Amino acid sequence: MKDFDSASSNSAAFDSATFDIVPIDPADHELVQSWLAIGEAVERHDWRDSMGWQPTHRMMGLVQHRSDTDTERWAAVRDGRALGWYSIELPVRDNTHLAEIELEVHPDHRRQGIGSALLAHLERRAAELGRTTVSTWAPVPIPGSTAVGDSAVGFAEATGYKNTLDNVVRICDLDKVDDAAIERLWNEAWQRADGFETVVFEGEPPAELLDGMAYMHARMYTDMPLGVFEKVQSLAEA
């Protein structure tokens, strides 16, 4: 997370003569394909395939838009291909001081000033849009756990960002779990689930569930520990 005055952002100059920073156009096939290639390369290099590459999920974000969030995507482009990119998500109903970001540079093009140029561009956009806090998530290696890269957190710290909240990602390989143990856990869970039912729906939830779902969504930001991370309860209406 990084706080800054919306009237002034990082104004450091970077040599971007070898690339341009442009909006990601969903209709630009070559640009989109190279943008997807960055995501796959970063997943393998930084996350070591621990999260799983999901190109369909990323593609859907280009064509589907949330009513409560504005999103911009920009890429550093050379010869029609993306070298790195960032997204900036802007809540419009609540927490309007926040800009939630993601920034990736292809591992083959790092340490060339691309990430720094994208970050400077991103912070200027956040300031122009009236945001005063920029936040993101970065993988951090944990001793004895699945190995992940540490370049993201190193880059963030070097550019003035500070850690305000830890989130632990746990991975359970069900192929290594005994079938009898799964059956036992299943039976124990159902003993505690008396009176509950699973409701499956597609699209809009049943009317009788809307108030409860809106309440739970609104509490998502305030029920979790936030440390010094400033978020207010989201505005969710049934």
pLDDT of residue 23: 97
Main-chain phi, psi angles of 146, to 5 degrees: -60, 130
Tokens of 217: 């969504």
CA end-to-end span of the chain: 31
Cβ(93)–Cβ(235) below 8 Å: yes
Over residues 184-212, the pLDDT tens digits come to 999 999 889 888 888 999 888 899 998 88
Determine which helix (DSSP H) or strand (DSSP E) holds 98, and give its type and residue range: strand 98-105
Residue 19 in domain: yes
CA-based nearest residue to 91, from 99, 81, 102: 99
Question: At a CB cut-off of 8 Å and minimum separation 6, what does 230 contact?
Answer: 97, 133
Does 152 share its domain with 202?
Answer: no
d(CA 89, CA 126): 10
- List beta partners, residue 90: 70
Say which residue, 168 or 77, is predicted with more confidence.
77
Does 211 share its domain with 136?
Answer: no
Does 40 share its domain with 100?
Answer: yes
Tokens of 25: 């156009």
Question: At a CB cut-off of 8 Å and minimum separation 6, what does 32 contact?
Answer: 24, 25, 26, 59, 62
Edge-to-edge strand order for the sheet containing 81-91?
2-3, 133-135, 98-105, 81-91, 69-78, 20-23
Does 151 share its domain with 179?
Answer: no
Residue 120 in domain: yes
Counting the structural domains of the chain, the total is: 2
Summary mean pLDDT of the chain: 84
Say which residue, 2 or 160, is predicted with more confidence.
160
Does 126 share its domain with 60?
Answer: yes
pLDDT of residue 225: 67
Over residues 19-34, the pLDDT tens digits come to 999 999 999 999 999 9
pLDDT at 14 over 60: no
Residue 233 in domain: no
d(CA 14, CA 119): 11
pTM: 0.77
Over residues 81-132, the pLDDT tens digits come to 999 999 999 999 888 898 999 999 999 999 999 999 999 999 999 999 999 9
Q: Which domain holds residue 58?
A: 2-158
Residue 32 in domain: yes
